[in-house]
Amino acid sequence: MVPISLTKIFEKYPDRRYIMFGGKGGLGKTTFSAATAYYLAKQGKRVLVFSVDPQASLSDIFQKDIFGKGPTEIMPNLYAQEIDADQRVKEYQQEIRQKILDMYGMDKIPEEIESYIQAAAAEPAMEESAIFDEVVDIVVKGGFDYYIYDLVPLGHALYYLSMASVYDEWIGKITGLRQQMREYDQVAAVMRHEKDAEEDAILNELLYIKERINKSSGILTDKERTAFFFVVTAEEMVINDTLKAAGLFAKFDVPLSGYIVNRVLPEELKKQQIPEYLKNRLTMQDHYLKVIDDTFKNEILAYVPEMERDVTGLRMIEKLAERMFD
């Protein structure tokens, strides 16, 4: 089956400026993110590709250490960023400490409070939340035509999504309680003929958090501005997992834009003298490519061949981009 080309998709939907690749670990999400960024940058668009994975590998693929350095120029129009979650959490803790010191004119954080700050930072969800928060910063700041999310493997991405909706719900509830508290404040103030109750700083803080979370999950589920691609390979487990994940993503209203088949062994090999081992791989691949065809039908956007070497450095990224966007 001839796929609808990926190029056409980008031409047809120029408003989809948030590009994401999802899939099981090790299938080529980072590679495709980099290649897409390269392609778009060559078209004259300003592109930022950034990693939300604590074990990011953009540094490896661009052969440049960009970890925790903010948006770094790779070539004209192409910027890459790897978020240093650890550093972010540390700065955040310090910010909170400073705020407490300033608010109460203390010169030292009370022990109880300090131990809470440290314990909170050790929570496993902290790192994800910090990355989540930084992503909001990146997106809110603007300045690029395209944002390419180099996503975490499926399980994490789902966690990331569900986190947004759970947070949203929670914050909504707490904000409700806080608003109710404020009403009591006002009642008491009126009865005692005081002027208006003081402004509630906590309520404002909660509304701020709510707005940030909405911003981030809003992008993930925006059909007009977001394109989410799944990466698959011709293997049974990968196909099954992808189907399962696609179902879950649909539940969270993530707009799926199509599937890209990676690591396809070249057909021409069959005509050559090849060992039994490779012959078997090719037969297996034919079978699963057919399964993929039957399963995802006209949502397949590209078949990308297994390259002759691993994709690192701009030369190889360019080569791959040519195969993706032919």
Partner 1 sequence: MSDDEKKKSGFFQAVKEFVYGVAAHDSARFALKTRASMEHLFILITMGDMLGVPILPPYYSLRLLPYVVPQISTWKRRMLREKDLTDSLA
185 scored as a contact of partner 1 (CB under 8 A): yes
Name the minimum Å distance from CB 85 to partner 1: 11
119 scored as a contact of partner 1 (CB under 8 A): yes
- Residue 130, token pair as written in the block: 């910090």
Nearer to partner 1, 97 or 223 (CB): 97
Amino acid at 133: D
**SS3 per residue for 187-230:** HHHHHCCCCCCCCCHHHHHHHHHHHHHHHHHHHHCCCCCEEEEE
Nearer to partner 1, 130 or 238 (CB): 130
Number of residues interacting with partner 1: please give it, by CB under 8 A. Answer: 42
Cβ-contact 309, 24 below 8 angstroms: no
Stretch that binds partner 1, among 113-121, 144-152, 270-278, 318-326 (CB under 8 A): 113-121
Q: Name residue 19's beta-bridge partners.
A: 148, 227
- Beta strand 78-82 pairing with 72-75: antiparallel
274 scored as a contact of partner 1 (CB under 8 A): no
Cβ-contact 31, 61 below 8 angstroms: yes
199 scored as a contact of partner 1 (CB under 8 A): no
Name the minimum Å distance from CB 131 to partner 1: 10
Q: Is the dihedral of CA 288, 294, 298, 299 positive or negative?
A: negative
178 scored as a contact of partner 1 (CB under 8 A): yes
Residues in touch with partner 1 (CB under 8 A):
92-93, 96, 99-100, 103-104, 110, 112-113, 116-117, 119-121, 123, 125-126, 129-130, 133, 163, 167, 170-171, 174, 177-178, 180-181, 184-185, 187-188, 191-193, 201-202, 205-206, 209
